[in-house]
Structures are given as C-alpha cells and as structure tokens.
Structure 1
Amino acid sequence: MAENQSMKNQDSSDEIDLGQLFQLIGKGFDSLFKLILRVFVYLKRNIFILIGLAAVGFAVGYGLNQIVSKRQKTDVIVKPQLESKNYLYDVIDEIQANIDAKDSSFFESIGIEEVDFAGLEITVNRVIEEGASDRDMQYLELLQSFENTDAIADIVRAELENKSSFNHRITFYYKNEELGVQFAKKVMEYINSSTYFDEVLTISRNNARGRIEQNELLLDQVDKIITNYTNNLASRNNAVSSERIILDNQEQVNIADLFEYKNLLIRDIEIKKLELAEQTEPISIINFGKSHEVQKSFFGKNLVLIPSILIVVFLFVSFLVYLNQKSKTLIL
C-alpha cells in the first residue's frame, strides 16, 4: 500500500511540473505578443514623425551631396623589382607624412608646384592573388630533382621569387581631379628616382644579357650534339642503339638528360628576357588607372546616413522618456 501511495504522489508531482512548464511557456508567448503589440502601437502613434524625420534627413543629405565636393582616387598597380618592396612602403610613408604636415617645400623639391591638401592621401596595399597552381609546384619539384648546377639554381630562384612576389596597389585620394592626377604622376616619378636601385638595375640587366649570350652558345652546342646523334641513327638504318652518347673524352651522356638540359637552357633564356622587359624601373608600373569617384558603402552615403541618425536619435529620446515615466511610478 505504501508503495502504491508513493507512486501516485510521484505521478501527481510530474503532472504539476508539466502544468507549470506549459503555463510558463504560455506566459512567455503572451509577453512576446504584448511586446510586439506595444511596438506596433508606438510606430502607429509616431508614424508621421518618423516619416517627417526621414524626409528631412533625405533633404539634408541631398543638399550636402550637392555642396560638398566628392572625393576621387587613382589606383596604380605596381610590382617592386630587386627586393624594393620595403623601399616602396618607406617612401609612401614619407610622402604621407609630408602630406599630413602640409610641407609644400618638400613637394616643390620633387617638381610639384601646386598641391591641394584638401582630402589628399596616399596608401599602398598588397594585391591579393591566387596561389600557385599544382602544375607550377610540380615544375619546381622537377627542377630541384636535377643536378645542382648554377643554371638550374638560378631558374629555381627566379621561379620562387616570381611565385612569392606580389603586385601592390598605390591609391591616391584627392578632391581636385586635375591637381590630383598630376600629383600622382609626379610622385611615381619621384619613387622611381632612386640612384641606388638605378645602379642595381643596370648591373642586373647587364648580367641578364650576358647570361642570355652564354646560354645561346651552350644551346647551339647541345643542338649540334643532338644533330650528330640523329645523323648516326640514320646512318645505322634506324638500328636500335644505346640511349647514351659517347663524347670525345669518352664520357657518356644520357640522351634524355641532354634534351632536359636543352629545355632548361631555353627556359633560362626566357626568364632572362622577361627580366630585361620587366626590370626597367625599380617599381614597375603595371597599370596607371584613371581618376574615378570614391564609392562609399550604403550606410556611408549622406542620403542614408543622416535620416538613419535622426530616426535613431528620436527612438533614443523616446526610450528615455519612457524610462522617466516608469521611474515616477516606482515607490521609493
């Protein structure tokens, strides 16, 4: 009997707990509905005020857009040569510091006679590019598997520098389009006026020309060896022969390695010619963009920002008034 009585009390307790739980859920939904209803009533009561504030805000924003001159910018995509990236960032910081100080004498010294400092700014950032493809990585691994010669080492180094180097975007901000574009051109001339990097570029270009001439001589010799090998095969009536070539000093050379060496020489010549084309200035200009207006984000535009501020201020003031009314009803 005692056990039956205990089980009945437990079932009754569970029913009470479930009932209380459903009541709490019902009260929660009721409170949420009342909150939504109060917000609806508040908006209904103040709808004309909110519409009026939005209209005033749009009008003020439109007026400011007509009065305030819009900011423009020019983007210049560049590629530093011969590890001149740090130099690029340092000289950009130097120019920006002189802009902040409004140092007209500095800009006169680099050929800029008239500077409009209103809204003038210069920044530099790295251009994010896609990573190296699997094919490029396989090519580098193939190069490393060959004998460690100077030519192969130079090719691997050039490929690694090409894959690890990034283009950079120099952005000029200004309000006067004519003066701003002229300012950007003069600054780029100043950046590329480094005497040190000019000397290094000259030496690098001379080295590249010498390497091309040397590789072309070696390539001619390799072609002669391959031609002789082909002629010997033809004279033997296409008979099966060894895959190795015996040179005059009795040294044997694998014909497959000879073809690979020829391809490496061709690749090295291509790289050096590309260096000659690219390394004309310390900071190569890939693209000098046109002047265009700075596009602001949606909430950064006056037509949206000012109405939003007016409405938020009104809602905040209404909330303070509500809190003040509630505080008067408290019994201290």
Structure 2
Amino acid sequence: MNENTPEQKSEEVDISQIFNLIGKAFKALFDFIVSIFEFILKTILLLALFIRNNIVKLGLAIVVGFVIGFISDRFEKDYYTSTMIVEPNFQANSQLITTIELYGQLVESNDSINLAKMLKISETDAAKISSISIEAKTNENTKIKGYNQFVKQTDTLVLKDVSFEAYKESLEEPDFDQYAITVNSTAYDIYGKIKDNIINIPTTAYVEALKKAEIENLDQMEREINQSLSDIDSLRAAYKTAMLNNSKNNNESGSSNNFYLGPDGQRKNTELELFEIETKYQYRLRDVFESKAQMESTINVVSGFTNIGIKAKNKNLKWYILISLGVMVLFIILANFNRYLSDFERKNKAA
C-alpha cells in the first residue's frame, strides 16, 4: 500500500513549485505596476516642487513673453487668406501643380516682377502676396471611389496583387481629382484680381488634342441622341396615325387600346414604351450637356476665392510666451546644474 507514496509526494512537490512560480510571477508584475505609479507620482511631485521653488521666475517669463508677443502682434501687418477648389480636366493635374508651385517659388524669392506678369497684376499687388500653395483635396471616401474606378478599368489578374491599402500607398499628388489653392496676402482685396489668371495655366499639345477629342466625342453623342429622339417622335406620330386608321376601320370597342409592335409577337403598350425610351435618351442628353459644360475649361473652379480675404489669426503671442517660458526653464536647469558642479568641486577639494 505504501508503494505509491513517493510518487504522490513528488507530484505534490511539483504542484507546490508551480504555485510558487505563479505567485512569484504575480508579485513581480504587481511590483512592476507599483514602480510605474511610484515613478509617475515622484515625477509629478518633482515638477510641483520645481514650479513652487521657481514660481517667480516662471511668472516673470510668462509676463515677458506676453508683452513681447502682444507688441509683435500690434506692430506686425495683418495678413489674409483665401482658398480656391479646382478640378483639372484632360490629365492637366501635373501641369496645374507645377504652375502653382512656380508661383509659390516666385513669392519665396520676392520676385514680384515676374509674378506680376504671370498673374497680370501690378508689381505692388504682387509684392503683397506672402505665399501661394497647392495641395490635393482628398479623404478616405475619394480614395475608395478612385479604387472602385481602378477596379473597373483593371484586369482581374492584376487586381489579385493590388489591395486597397497598396492602392492608397501608390497614390501620388497628380492622381487626385480636386486641389486646394491657398493664397496668403497682406492685402485683403487682391483675390478678385488673381482668381482668373492663377488657373490660366499653359497647356501642352497633348492636353489640347485630348480636349479636342473629348469635345468631338460629346458632340457626336449629342447628334446621335438627338437623332434618336427625332426618330421616336416620328415613330410616335406614325403610331398615332396607324391607331386612328385602325379605329376608323374597326368598329369593335377597345380594340384600339393596344397595337402590335416587335417581332416577338407580343402585344405591348407602345405609348408607354416610347415614353420610357424617350426618357432614357433625355437623361443621356442631359449627361452629355453636363459633360460638355465641364469640358469647356481645362481647369474647372468648384469653389472660387472670396472677393475679400479672411483675416488670419496671428499666433505670435502664444509662441513668444512658450519660447520665453522655455528659455527660463532652461536657464533654471542650467543654473541648478552649475550649482551642483560647484558643490561637487568644493567637496572634492575638501576631501
């Protein structure tokens, strides 16, 4: 009966060791969490002591920064901003970006002479422009729409290697549909003077050929739709004539309500069918008109500049306060460090 006793004791020892290891692991985890809270608490206390011991110096730094920032804001010129949203046609995205970036470079280099020539404004007005920039106007929805369009136009085998995330990473600035052009200026009334010429970009022969082909294609579609609508009117007139003749030659009541049409031998309500077909063609014609309106210009303006620029808020006050406060904190730290070095040196000499 006592043959299994050593094995039982061995199992009990193993289980007790496992519980000891688990207990030590939990204690180590608890000690680690406690040490983190102790570190955070000590940091907060040290920061509080630092502020209490240097409250006068820090307050003085805030006052000095406020005064300097207030004076700077009072004497600095006000500047204004306005943004235009545009939509390029005929793959003119790259040309638009290049042109606007050129304007921005002319502003940065203070070349108001060439900027005035390109925007067709006076040199005085050109000198008042402080910055010109362009950025793609995009969000997750526009990327999803672009990916869906990409899926429709791409071979199925290629799509296996191109996920939505990979598609997003491959996008470059010329790949988007809309762009925001932002102009900052010290003159609030300059935007009405530049709103037309700033998007009057030079076009290449390729863009002009593409524009011509698109417009000719839309003109052809318009002619075909108009011809189809004319044929429908002729068919409707012929149908009415046939129905009138049928009514005269047939004395049975109700026999003129339906008229045979089509090779399938079925009797259909022809007037309703003609109305539905005509409606479809009218919708297509409306789409053609909208497309032609969009294709009239190389750059379409979705949202133009405001005639009067919006006054931008100066942020000098906040920055001067932060800089002054930062300089004072650095000065205090260096002063304390210097005091520590002096005490260390004195103790070493005394030893």
Partner of 2:123: 114
Q: How far apart, CA to CA, are the structure 2 residues paired with 1:133 and 1:31?
A: 46
Corresponding residue of 1:286: 302
Give the aligned residue type for 1:311.
Answer: L
Q: Within 1, Cα distance between the matches of 2:286 and 2:28?
A: 83
How far off its partner does 1:245 sit?
A: 0.7
Alpha-carbon offset, residue 221 of structure 1: 1.6
Kindly indicate whether residue 100 of structure 2 is the aligned counterpart of residue 92 of structure 1.
yes
Partner of 2:167: none
Structural RMSD (CA): 5.1
In 2, Cα distance between equivalents of 1:33 and 1:110: 61
Tell me the residue number matched to 2:228.
Answer: 218
Runs of at least 5 residues in structure 1 that lack an aligned partner in the other structure:
142-163
Structure 2: tracts of 5 or more residues without a match: 1-8, 153-174, 248-252
- CA 283–25 in structure 1, closer or farther in 2 if over 3 Å, else same: closer
Residue of structure 2 aligned with 1:306, choices 320, 329, 336: 320
1-structure distance, mates of 2:232, 2:287? 19
User: Shift of the alpha carbon at 1:104?
Assistant: 1.4
* Counterparts of 1:86 and 1:21, CA distance in 2: 57
1:98-137 correspondence runs (5 A): 98-101=106-109, 102=111, 104-105=113-114, 107-108=116-117, 111-115=120-124, 116-117=126-127, 120-128=130-138, 130-131=141-142
Measure the CA separation in 1 of the matches of 2:262 and 2:28: 96
Count, aligned residues: 296
Mapped to 1, the partners of 2:144 and 2:238 lie a distance apart of 39
Q: Which of residues 71, 81, 87 in structure 2 aligns to 1:73?
A: 81
Please state whether the residue corresponding to 1:318 is helix, strand or coil: helix
CA drift of 1:179 comes to 4.6
State the partner residue of 1:58. 66
Percent same amino acid at aligned positions? 16
Task: Give matches, 1:1-332, under 5 Å.
Answer: 33-101=41-109, 102=111, 104-105=113-114, 107-108=116-117, 111-115=120-124, 116-117=126-127, 120-128=130-138, 130-131=141-142, 166-179=177-190, 181-188=192-199, 190-191=200-201, 194=203, 201=211, 204-205=214-215, 207-225=217-235, 237=254, 245-246=262-263, 262-290=278-306, 291-293=308-310, 295=312, 301-327=315-341, 328-329=343-344
Q: How many Å separate the matches in 1 of 2:107 and 2:50?
A: 51
1:204-262, CA deviations, whole angstroms, 9 ceiling, x for partnerless residues?
Answer: 54653443233112123235446766876x96946998996139xx9xx9x89987764
Alignment partners' CA distance in 2, 1:24 and 1:200: 68
User: How many angstroms apart in 2 are the aligned matches of 1:126 and 1:22?
Assistant: 51
Q: For residue 178 of structure 1, report the CA deviation from its aligned partner.
A: 4.0
One-letter amino acid of the structure 1 residue matched with residue 300 of structure 2? S
Paired residues of 2:191 and 2:309 also in contact (CA < 8 A): no
Query: How far does the alpha carbon of each residue in 1:176-224 deviate from its partner, in whole angstroms, 9 at most, with x for none?
Result: 3345653444433x43x65856786566546534432331121232354
- TM-score normalised by L of structure 1: 0.64
Which amino acid letter does the alignment assign opposite residue 104 of structure 1? I
**Cα offset for 1:64?**
0.8
AA at the equivalent of 2:193: Q
Output the CA distance in 1 between the equivalents of 2:322 and 2:64.
11
| Distance of 2:102 and 2:36 partners within structure 1 | 62
